[in-house]
Amino acid sequence: MKEKKHFGTDGIRGRVGKGDINPEFVLKLGWAAGRVLGKGNAGKVLIGKDTRISGYLFESALEAGLVAAGMDIRLLGPMPTPGIAYLTRTLHAAAGIVIIASHNPYYDNGIKFFSSSGTKLPDDVENAIEAECGKKLATVDSADLGKAERVEDAAGRYIEFCKSTVPHNLDLSGLKIVVDCANGATYHIAPPVLEELGAQVTVIGAEPDGFNINKNIGSTHPEALQQAVLQHQADVGIALDGDGDRLIMVDHTGATVDGDGILYIIARSRLAQPNGLNGPVVGTTMSNLGLELALKELGVELKRTDVGDRYILAALDSNKWTLGGEPSGHIICRDRTSTGDGIVAALQVLASMVMDESNLRDLSMGMQRLPQILVNVDLGKAEPKAVMENDRVKKSVKAAEKTLNKDGRVLLRPSGTEPLIRVMVEGKNAPLVTQLANEIADTVRKVTATD
C-alpha cells in the first residue's frame, strides 16, 4: 500500500502553524477534497469542529477550498465527532469533515474526514485527495462555485439520536449525574440528553473559551469529576473528552471505571437482551487481561486488534460484530452508530444501571482488573524493529512469560508517535508483574545503548 504523505491513522493532526496544520495547506486540502468528493456527487460536505480557538481559522480555510472546487457546504458549528458522523449519514452528505484534535491541548488541531456512510474514508479516496493536493489550485467558474449554509438544528438532531439509542421508556429520574464535558464539543449536547431523560444533572467543563479544552478536565483528567461526584453525592459521573468520542465513568465512591470496565458492563447487559450481542467483544492488545477473563465467565470471547479504534471498527464491520473498545474509553456500539461515541456508550451503561436496579460500582465488580505495568524505554538512535528482534530481548520476554505461566501476559510494542518501546506486563501478582516489567525494560535499555 502506498505510504501517505499527509493522512495518518486518524486524519491529519499537529501543532497549529506547524507542518500541515496551517491555513494555506488546509485551504488546499479543502479544494483537493472537493475535487475528489465532487466527482459523481451532486451532494454537500458537512463541516463541524470542537471548541479550540483555531477552529474558526480552519473552518474558514476548508470552506473556501471546498467552495472553490464547486462543493456546497453545510456548517454545523461545535459538534462532537460522532455527531458529525451521524449527521453525515442522515443528511445524505457526500462527506463530513471535523476540525478536532480529540484529547490534545488547545494549541493542536487536525482534520478528520467521514465518508457518506459516517465511517473513515477508504484508503483509495485519501490517496486521491493527496494526489490532488500536489496540483495547482484552480477555482471553478463563478457559475459553478459552491454555497455555504449553516445547519441551525444540528445539535437538536444529534440530541434526539443519542436518546434513540436506549429504550424509549428509559427513565433516569432517580439518578444524580455529574457530567464533565472537557470544555469541548459536547458542552451543549451531553447535559440536555441526560436532562431530557429525566436525570438530575450537575455539569462541569462546559464553559469553553477556546483555550481550556481538555485542560485538567475531561476523560484524560478524571480527578475533577471524581471530586465533583463526591461533593454533590452523585450516583455516577461521566467524563468525555474534547471531541466526545471517549468516555471514562466514576462510581458513587469516586472510583473510576475505564473503557475495559465499560465494555464489560455493556456486554453483560447485551447478553440479557434478545439478539443483544453478536459475536465476540473486540478489544486491543492493551485491553486488560481481567476483561478477557471476565468475559470468558460470561461465555463471551475477547478478540484483540492492534491499538487504535480504526482497527476495532474494521474487525466489527468485517465480521458483523456489535461491540468493541479501548481502555482509553473509545467504545463502539456498532449496532447503534458508526463510530466511537462517548454519550451513546454512557447511555448504555446508565440503561443497565436502571434495568438492573444497581449502581455502577456493583456492575463493574464483575470484572477484576489485573495489575498492569507499562514501562516506556527511550530508543535513542536504535531502530525499533532491531530492538524487538534482538535475541537478548526475546529471551527476557520468554523468561517472563514462563514465570507468569497462564496467569499473565507480556507485550512489547514500539510507540506510533514517539521513539519509545513500550513494555507491558500484567498478571495476578502485582509485585511480580512490576519486577518482570522492569527486568525486560532494563534489557531493552542495555540493547539500545549498544545499538
Distance CA 85, CA 97 (A): 9
Sheet holding 72-78, edge to edge: 12-15, 108-114, 95-99, 44-49, 72-78, 148-150
Give me the sign of the Cα torsion angle 327, 177, 218, 57.
positive
If DSSP codes are grouped into helix, strand and coil, which group holds residue 441? Answer: helix
Is residue 115 annotated as part of the catalytic site, yes or no? no
- Chain centroid offset of residue 117 CA: 18
Distance CA 20, CA 305 (A): 29
Report the half-sphere exposure of 432 (CA within 13 A, side-chain side).
Answer: 16
Within 137-230, strands assigned E span: 148-150, 176-180, 200-204
Q: Dump the DSSP string for 375-431.
A: EEEE-TT--HHHHHT-HHHHHHHHHHHHHHTTSEEEEEEE-SSSSEEEEEEEES-HH
Q: Grid coordinates representing 189?
A: 449536547
Q: Dump the DSSP string for 306-345.
A: -SSHHHHHHHHHHHT--EEE-TTSBEEETTT-SS--HHHH
Q: Grid coordinates representing 363?
A: 456492575
The DSSP H or E segment spanning 362 is helix 360-364
Choice among 54, 60, 102, 328 that is catalytic? 102
- Residues catalogued as catalytic: 102
